[in-house]
């Protein structure tokens, strides 16, 4: 019987630090563990004492990749706590921003972090020589999404203009029209992306779990809505604590969560399973072409669901921009009446549903804060997937096992800085 | 021979490394001119033979120190990448609260599992050769520094305040918009990124060298503020400097 020792110290091509540890003695699995080893940063503690105007800027720094999502979720929580009702214009611009971040993040993950595994490359860099047209296309799509976020948020990494009850500066109509033109011209790039991802052989593995995301009557929800589960229906976002149930495990600096079952999944596949009916016709067609059908229980299909969402993002942003151009933009009065209170924000960011929860005193100084991060909600599910996958692939050579487990973790697109903030494989 | 470059990170959001990837078209030129041998966020292949190390993040626990010292020993040139590494950044906000209480607030009765000490910039632990400031770093400045290093030159980083760039951009002063701004005391180089978007400068690039002579004190004076008072209002990025003073 065989012995396997895998010890991936810091899984690569993910955001943050996590390890995979596998120990098999004489064909018997003794250890199979997903460890999060990122340095804890203590955001929830150190935002206490800061002003309501600073909270979004500070919590944006939880994560460089989903800084727009953190900013918007933070603003929602602050506005809910202070009783601020934002205008339709502000909500419209924020919905464009979150779609822009989803596009940017999904292109980065699908092309740069996940795809190299399927062509046997250790990173995207060797592909610059072997597949230059693919790399250039991916960079062009990413740049489009980044430029869009620059126009609507002032900056892609840690946006500047979104603030409590509006924007410090509105995007220019000329710049918006230029971005709309480029989005329309990006359709051939989306088609080429679909052709590429159709050729990738997605590992055949299934483990059914609970899928949790936002849900909205109005649209494929990212910016707002209620919490939805494949097992338990829906609940208002204020009930997030009883649906996430955070707990700690000794081998991880990130917190874990559970709801109806031992584990649940958040992110693009969870959203797809809950809300696929509301995708744009182009995204529905993309899902069909890529063989993605709801309900899908294969975590390796998360990357495919991201590609589908990227298609959706382009057409959805065009639709939302047309709404902006139709209505026009006007400077709004952002002043608010300061009072204390407690409020919850929830945004479905690229890696899944995110919650911020703040309490303020009457001067707008933060007294309490709690943030529940998408990757935290996925850690336990990753662990259970690894435990289910490993016995199915034990007959393979150690290197192949290691690669499969890494690909599994990478499929979740974990954002480890966020979740403690996770990834490395250890075969010990 | 192409210089061998490696990227490392400590406690941070990895947004500054993302800015490297966000160079997009220019990234391909950089990739052509250098040999990237380690970049965990973007690649699996790795080597410990490098000449230039870019380090993102703050030092926040005992076990970070030997890791950083090892990088310093290997690298001929060590570049601090972004505010967490250059000035301590947001991580230092926790230094103003009792750390036992901070750990308990986040991790409850399991607080002892999570090691932490007061956050600090990397030059509090090892000598740093060059700084790329900001939260996040600005792509133009990153390219400028990389080009200088490739040419064997010392990168020129501004020593004058943001106000200079802000006036050049023709912005309405943020003080005129009714807000307080650290532009008068903060090192330029980002093109007054935030004030250009009508938001105040929060000092993410660190203070100008010797703020009492280099600051735009007349701007502060007009609005009834001293250097210390202005800095005191903003602790988001400058917490480490405030305590070290």
pLDDT the model gives residue A1? 60
Question: Tokens standing for A152?
Answer: 């609507």
Domain co-membership, B33 together with B140: yes
Q: How confident is the model at residue B244 (pLDDT cuts 50, 70, 90)?
A: low
ipTM of the complex: 0.94
pLDDT the model gives residue A428? 35
Instruction: Mutate one of B4, B5, B43 to test the A interface: name it (highest A CB count within 10 A).
Output: B43
Yes or no, beta carbons of A47 and B93 under 8 Å apart: yes
Domain co-membership, B85 together with B13: yes
**Which one has a higher pLDDT value, A413 or B32?**
A413
Instruction: Mutate one of B2, B11, B15, B103 to test the A interface: name it (highest A CB count within 10 A).
Output: B15
pLDDT for A244 beyond 90: yes
Contacts of B97 in chain A (CB under 8 A): 45-46, 48-49
Q: How confident is the model at residue A422 (pLDDT cuts 50, 70, 90)?
A: very low
Yes or no, beta carbons of A143 and B25 under 8 Å apart: yes
Which helix (H) or strand (E) is A163 found in, with range? Answer: strand A162-163
Domain that residue B195 falls in: 162-244
pLDDT the model gives residue A363? 95
Domain co-membership, B36 together with B105: yes
CATH of the domain at B99: 3.40.50.700
- Chain A: give the shortest CA distance to residue B122, in Å: 15
CB neighbour list of residue A305: distance below 8 Å, 6 or more residues apart: A267, A268, A269, A271, A272, A287, A292, A296
Query: Could you read off the pLDDT of A288-335 as tens digits, one per residue?
Result: 999 999 999 999 999 999 999 999 999 999 999 999 999 999 999 999
Full DSSP string of chain B: -PPEEEEEESBS-SHHHHHHHTTTHHHHHHHHHSEEEEETTTBS---S--SEEEEESBB-STTHHHHHHHHHHH-SEEEEESHHHHT-GGGGGGGGS-HHHHHHHHHGGGGGGS-----B-GGGTS--SEEE-BTTB-HHHHHHHHHHHHTT-------SBHHHHHHHTTPPPTTTTT----TTTBB--S-SHHHHTT-----TT-BPSSHHHHS-HHHHHHTT--HHHHHHH--TTTHHHHHH-
Query: Could you read off the pLDDT of A263-280 as tens digits, one per residue?
Result: 999 999 999 999 999 999
Q: What is the mean pLDDT of residues A191-206?
A: 95
Q: Of A65, A248, A418, which has the smallest distance from its Cβ to B18's Cβ?
A: A65
Contacts of B13 in chain A (CB under 8 A): 61-64, 67, 417-418
Contacts of B107 in chain A (CB under 8 A): 40, 248
Pairing verdict, β A18-25 and A210-215: unpaired
- Chain A: give the shortest CA distance to residue B105, in Å: 6
Q: How confident is the model at residue B233 (pLDDT cuts 50, 70, 90)?
A: confident
pLDDT the model gives residue B153? 92
- Chain B: give the shortest CA distance to residue A218, in Å: 31
> How many Cβ pairs within 8 Å bridge chains A and B?
164
Domain co-membership, B133 together with B174: no
The answer to whether position B156 is within a domain reads no
Contacts of A136 in chain B (CB under 8 A): 28
Q: Of A15, A48, A163, which has the smallest distance from its Cβ to B14's Cβ?
A: A15
Instruction: Mutate one of A46, A66, A141 to test the B interface: name it (highest B CB count within 10 A).
Output: A46
Yes or no, beta carbons of A64 and B13 under 8 Å apart: yes
Q: How confident is the model at residue A59 (pLDDT cuts 50, 70, 90)?
A: very high
- Chain B: give the shortest CA distance to residue A41, in Å: 6
pLDDT for A16 beyond 80: no
Q: What is the mean pLDDT of residues A211-215?
A: 98
Query: Could you read off the pLDDT of B162-183 as tens digits, one per residue?
Result: 999 999 999 999 999 988 899 9
pLDDT the model gives residue B245? 54
- Chain B: give the shortest CA distance to residue A143, in Å: 7
The residue among B150, B185, B202 that closes a domain is B150
pLDDT for A338 beyond 90: yes
Query: Could you read off the pLDDT of B71-114 as tens digits, one per residue?
Result: 999 999 999 999 999 999 999 999 999 999 988 888 888 888 78
The strand pairing partners of A163, in sequence order, are A166
Domain co-membership, B65 together with B170: no
- Chain B: give the shortest CA distance to residue A120, in Å: 11
Q: How confident is the model at residue B141 (pLDDT cuts 50, 70, 90)?
A: very high
Q: Closest chain B residue to A368 measured between Cα atoms? A: B105
Domain co-membership, B185 together with B144: no
Most confidently modeled range among B60-64, B123-127, B240-244:
B123-127
Give how many domains chain B has, as a whole number: 2
- Chain A: give the shortest CA distance to residue B227, in Å: 20
Tell me the three state secondary structure of residue A345: strand
Yes or no, beta carbons of A168 and B202 under 8 Å apart: no
Q: Are B142 and B106 in contact (CB under 8 A)?
A: no
Q: What is the mean pLDDT of residues A137-152?
A: 96
CB neighbour list of residue A395: distance below 8 Å, 6 or more residues apart: none
Contacts of A63 in chain B (CB under 8 A): 13-15
pLDDT the model gives residue A427? 35
Q: What is the mean pLDDT of residues A229-256?
A: 91
Domain co-membership, B122 together with B182: no
Yes or no, beta carbons of A142 and B24 under 8 Å apart: yes
Residues of chain A above pLDDT 90, percent = 81
Contacts of B113 in chain A (CB under 8 A): 248, 250
Instruction: Mutate one of B13, B40, B142 to test the A interface: name it (highest A CB count within 10 A).
Output: B13
Q: What is the mean pLDDT of residues A42-61?
A: 94
Yes or no, beta carbons of B39 and A123 under 8 Å apart: yes
Instruction: Mutate one of A40, A60, A375 to test the B interface: name it (highest B CB count within 10 A).
Output: A40
Question: Tokens standing for A35?
Answer: 């460890």
Domain co-membership, B145 together with B183: no
| Sign of the alpha-carbon torsion through A110, A11, A60, A302 | positive
**Which one has a higher pLDDT value, B24 or A173?**
A173
What is the residue extent of each domain of chain A? 4-419
CATH for A4-419, among 3.40.50.12280, 2.40.30.10, 1.10.10.10, 1.10.645.10? 1.10.645.10
Q: What is the mean pLDDT of residues B115-131?
A: 95
Domain co-membership, B134 together with B234: no
Yes or no, beta carbons of B17 and A64 under 8 Å apart: yes
pLDDT for A112 beyond 70: yes
pLDDT the model gives residue A414? 82
Q: How confident is the model at residue A213 (pLDDT cuts 50, 70, 90)?
A: very high
The answer to whether position B155 is within a domain reads no
The answer to whether position B157 is within a domain reads no
The answer to whether position B101 is within a domain reads yes
Q: How far apart are CA A66 and CA A158, in angstroms?
A: 9
pLDDT the model gives residue A417? 55
Domain co-membership, B96 together with B144: yes
């Amino acid at each position: 019987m065989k012995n396997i020792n895998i010890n991936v110290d810091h899984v690569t091509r993910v955001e943050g630090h996590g390890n995979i540890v596998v120990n098999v003695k004489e064909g018997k699995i003794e250890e199979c563990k997903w460890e999060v080893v990122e340095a804890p940063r203590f955001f929830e503690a150190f935002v206490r004492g800061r002003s309501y105007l600073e909270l979004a800027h500070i919590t944006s720094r939880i994560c460089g990749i989903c800084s727009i999502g953190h900013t918007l979720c933070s603003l929602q929580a602050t506005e809910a706590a202070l009783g601020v009702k934002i205008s339709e214009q502000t909500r419209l611009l924020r919905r464009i921003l979150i779609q822009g971040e989803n596009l940017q993040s999904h292109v980065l993950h699908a092309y740069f972090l996940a795809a190299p595994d399927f062509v046997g490359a250790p990173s995207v860099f060797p592909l610059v020589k072997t597949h230059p047209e693919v790399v250039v296309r991916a960079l062009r799509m990413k740049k489009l999404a980044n430029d869009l976020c620059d126009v609507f948020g002032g900056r892609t990494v840690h946006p500047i203009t979104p603030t409590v009850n509006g924007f410090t500066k509105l995007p220019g109509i000329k710049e918006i029209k230029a971005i709309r033109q480029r989005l329309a011209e990006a359709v051939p790039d989306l088609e080429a992306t679909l052709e590429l991802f159709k050729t990738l052989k997605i590992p055949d593995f299934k483990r059914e779990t609970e899928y949790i995301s936002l849900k909205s009557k109005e649209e494929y929800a990212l910016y707002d809505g209620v919490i939805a589960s494949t097992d338990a229906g829906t609940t208002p976002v204020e009930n997030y604590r009883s649906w996430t149930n955070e707990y700690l495990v000794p081998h991880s600096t990130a917190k874990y969560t559970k709801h109806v079952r031992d584990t649940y999944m958040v992110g693009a596949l969870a959203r797809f399973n809950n809300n696929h009916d509301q995708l744009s016709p182009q995204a529905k067609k993309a899902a069909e072409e890529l063989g993605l059908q709801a309900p899908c229980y294969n975590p390796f299909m998360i990357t495919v669901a991201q590609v589908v969402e990227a298609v959706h993002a382009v057409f959805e942003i065009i639709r939302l921009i047309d709404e902006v151009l139709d209505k026009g933009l006007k400077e709004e009065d952002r002043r608010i009446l300061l009072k204390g209170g407690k409020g919850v924000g929830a945004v479905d960011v690229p890696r899944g549903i995110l919650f911020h929860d703040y309490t303020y005193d009457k001067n707008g100084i933060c007294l309490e804060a709690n943030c529940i991060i998408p990757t935290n909600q996925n850690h336990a599910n990753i662990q259970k997937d690894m435990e289910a996958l490993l016995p199915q692939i034990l007959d393979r050579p150690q290197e192949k096992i290691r690669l499969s487990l890494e690909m599994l973790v990478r499929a979740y697109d974990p954002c480890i800085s966020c979740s403690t903030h996770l990834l490395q494989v250890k075969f010990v | 021979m192409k210089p061998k470059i490696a990227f490392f990170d400590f406690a941070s959001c990895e947004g500054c490394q993302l800015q490297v990837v966000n160079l997009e078209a220019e990234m391909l030129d950089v990739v052509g001119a250098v040999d990237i041998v380690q970049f965990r966020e973007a690649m699996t292949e790795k080597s410990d033979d490098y000449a230039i190390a870019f380090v993102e993040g703050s030092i926040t626990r005992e076990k970070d120190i030997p890791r950083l010292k090892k990088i310093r020993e290997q690298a001929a040139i060590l570049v601090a990448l972004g505010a967490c590494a250059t000035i301590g950044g947001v991580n230092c906000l926790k230094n103003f609260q009792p750390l036992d209480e901070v750990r308990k607030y986040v991790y409850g009765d399991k607080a002892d599992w999570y090691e932490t000490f007061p956050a600090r910039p990397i030059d509090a632990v090892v000598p740093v050769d060059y700084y790329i400031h900001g939260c996040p770093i600005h792509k133009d400045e990153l390219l400028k520094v990389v080009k200088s290093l490739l040419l064997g030159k010392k990168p020129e980083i501004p020593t004058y305040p943001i106000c200079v760039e802000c006036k050049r951009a023709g912005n309405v002063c943020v003080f005129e918009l009714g807000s307080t701004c650290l532009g008068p005391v903060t090192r330029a180089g980002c093109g007054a990124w935030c004030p250009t978007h009508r938001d105040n400068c929060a000092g993410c690039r660190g203070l100008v060298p010797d703020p009492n002579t280099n600051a735009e004190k007349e701007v502060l004076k007009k609005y009834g503020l001293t250097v210390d008072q202005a800095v005191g209002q903003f602790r988001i990025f400058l917490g480490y400097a405030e305590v070290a003073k």
